[in-house]
């Protein structure tokens, strides 16, 4: 059974950097075949995809966050991480790490996953001074 | 990008059937066969219930079924049980820069 667990500070000051790590068990990121995502849920709003990474390090980000987001992977620790810079109160949310299903939809030269098969339980990050 | 539209809440008694709708556009739900549904008990990890409109992952009871017509998808729970009391989110592949978009979420209450 694949399990994901988020970890990191629950409180971040405005203008600082939010850093979270996702530890994966039950699967090895380096086995390949999957994209590993970060998704967030703003209080009272919908879920928002932040970005994902492939085990080789290839990343894709939500264009609305691209200038502030970095996702990285450490296959030796079976972890992947999220950094979000210059945070504001609007970044207060529950942050989830997730594994995307193996299937992908291809359009032109781009193939992308289209669902999540395993999620972490999420961690609340509050941006406040 | 905009979220898919779901009713805020749906309720039913044990044993009854309920249906949750998920409305999008031609760029997401209407344009692709890649709708998925997730069950979320607060404080726990969300769980995949349906993918590719109507496919159930191993271990998901056949009480859960999915369908799609035009720009709208639906999740039906037949024979409602107490443990089905949870939040449900739909998601669809989208033509936008993000690979998928999520619904606004529906709170299912088992009376």
* Contacting residues of B for A101, CB less than 8 Å apart: 48, 51
- Cβ count near A59 (within 10 Å): 16
pLDDT of residue A32: 84
| DSSP-assigned letter for residue A8 | S
Higher pLDDT residue, B37 or A106? Answer: B37
In sequence order, the β-bridge partners of residue B55 are B51
Best A4, A37, A106, A115 member to test B by mutation, with max B CBs in 10 Å, is A115
Closest-CA distance of chain A to residue B84, Å: 18
Closest-CA distance of chain B to residue A1, Å: 12
> What's the whole-number mean pLDDT along residues B40-57?
96
> What's the whole-number mean pLDDT along residues B18-44?
95
Could you give the percent of chain B with pLDDT greater than 70? 99
pLDDT of residue B1: 57
The residue assigned the tokens 């790490």 is A97
Which residue among B34, B44, B45 places its CB closest to the CB of A115? B34
| pLDDT tens figures, A86-125 | 999 999 999 999 999 888 888 888 888 999 999 999 999 9
Residue B51 to residue A63, Cβ atoms within 8 A: no
- B15-38 burial code (b ≥16 CB/10 A, e <16): eeebebbbbbbebbbbebebbbbb
Best A37, A103, A114, A122 member to test B by mutation, with max B CBs in 10 Å, is A114
> What's the whole-number mean pLDDT along residues B12-21?
97
Query: How would residue B2 be classed by pLDDT, with cut points 50, 70 and 90?
Result: confident
| pLDDT tens figures, A44-79 | 888 999 999 998 889 999 999 999 999 999 999 999
Strands (E), B24-85: 35-40, 47-50, 64-69, 72-77
Residues A98, A88: Cα–Cα separation, whole Å:
24
| pLDDT tens figures, B66-106 | 999 999 999 999 999 999 999 999 999 998 888 989 999 99
The residue assigned the tokens 């850093």 is A19
* Contacting residues of A for B52, CB less than 8 Å apart: 103, 115
């Amino acid at each position: 059974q694949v399990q994901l667990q988020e970890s990191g500070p629950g409180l971040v000051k405005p203008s600082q950097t939010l850093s979270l790590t996702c530890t994966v068990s039950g699967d090895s990121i380096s086995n390949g075949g999957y994209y590993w995502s970060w998704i967030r849920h703003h209080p009272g709003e919908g879920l928002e995809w932040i970005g994902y990474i492939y085990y080789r390090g290839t990343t894709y980000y939500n264009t609305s966050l691209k200038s502030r987001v970095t996702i990285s992977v450490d296959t030796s620790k079976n972890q992947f991480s999220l950094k979000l810079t210059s945070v504001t109160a609007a970044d207060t949310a529950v942050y989830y790490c997730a594994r995307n299903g193996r299937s992908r939809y291809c359009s032109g030269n781009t193939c992308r996953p289209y669902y999540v098969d395993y999620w972490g339980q999420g961690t609340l990050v509050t941006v406040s001074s | 990008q905009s979220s898919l539209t779901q009713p805020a809440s749906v309720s039913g008694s044990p044993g009854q059937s309920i249906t949750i709708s998920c409305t999008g556009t031609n760029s997401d739900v209407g344009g692709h066969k890649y709708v998925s549904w997730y069950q979320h008990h607060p404080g726990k990890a969300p769980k995949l219930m349906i993918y590719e409109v109507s496919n159930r992952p191993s271990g998901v009871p056949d009480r859960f079924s999915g369908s799609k017509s035009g720009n709208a998808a639906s999740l039906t729970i037949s024979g409602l049980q107490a443990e089905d009391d949870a939040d449900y989110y739909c998601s669809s592949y989208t033509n936008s820069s993000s690979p998928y978009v999520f619904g606004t979420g529906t709170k299912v209450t088992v009376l």
